[in-house]
Amino acid sequence: MFFSFTGLSYLTLFISLSFLTFRFFQYWRQKKDTTSKLFLLLIIPLFLFAFIRTITPLFFLENIQIITFSIILVAFLESLTAAVVAYLIVYLKFPKISPWVGFSIIFFLGIIVTILTANISYSPTIEEKGVIDWGFPSSEVGIIYSILRLVIVLATFIPLIIIVFQQFLYSEDAFLKKRSLGLTLVLILGMLLGFIDFILNNILGIKAAIYRDYTTIIISFLLFLVIFLTQKPETSKL
């Protein structure tokens, strides 16, 4: 089988996150401060996540072992991203507390999630058009596990969204307001992408994996559009 619709859907996400990684790199080169550095460190694991989810279906579609290993690796990258977000939140809002406290708590929970991912029985299957059903476990243990992953995402991304949106509300700089609003939308779309499998499979009971891929393509397109329109490097002022 040489075509994978799942690989195509994640390719659109990979392109969008590649562009965002480039923009964050530009910010870091301009500012060279801790905040810009943390946003760059935040996006790198997500970039790798999209890369793995693209490469695995496109080149290893019929290798279930590699697909299963990619699920474990993706769980770790998601956890690492959340830990960096926790560090950033503490750094921005709680200067009297070491940011490593936030990082350590979320990273510890993420390691638990990664270990559970490695030990829960996933059963990836290949559907028509090379669509991958990641084989998310529907048992009671699987539901508890998915809720833990959900809590980690909610506990980190929602506070960050609020912080960035507050910057949009209170900043008087038009360029900064535009960038902050765009970044708020980027974070919301990114969090929504993380909920796709959980919402479609566990809440709505939709088991057809192709709907996840359709949704990924739509959100990835919106993500690229928002990044292109709002995340532009600041022009030097003479």
Annotate 192-207 with b (16+ C-beta within 10 A) or e (fewer). Answer: ebbebbbebbbeeeee
Domain coordinates of the chain in residue numbers?
5-230
Average pLDDT value for the chain: 88
Q: For residues 130 and 160, is the Cβ–Cβ distance under 8 A?
A: no
pLDDT digits (tens, 9 = 90+) for 63-96: 888 998 998 999 999 999 999 999 999 999 999 9
- Split at pLDDT 50, 70, 90, the class of 35 is very high
- Report the C-alpha gap between 217 and 42 in whole angstroms: 22
- Thinking of the domain 5-230, which architecture would CATH place it in? Up-down Bundle (1.20)
| Mean per-residue pLDDT, 207-228 | 89
Interval 115-136: pLDDT, tens? 988 887 777 888 887 888 877 6
Portion of the chain with pLDDT greater than 90, in percent: 60
Rounded to whole angstroms, the Cα distance separating 138 from 146 reads: 10
**Residue 238's pLDDT band (cuts 50, 70, 90):** very low
Q: Whole-prediction pTM value?
A: 0.91
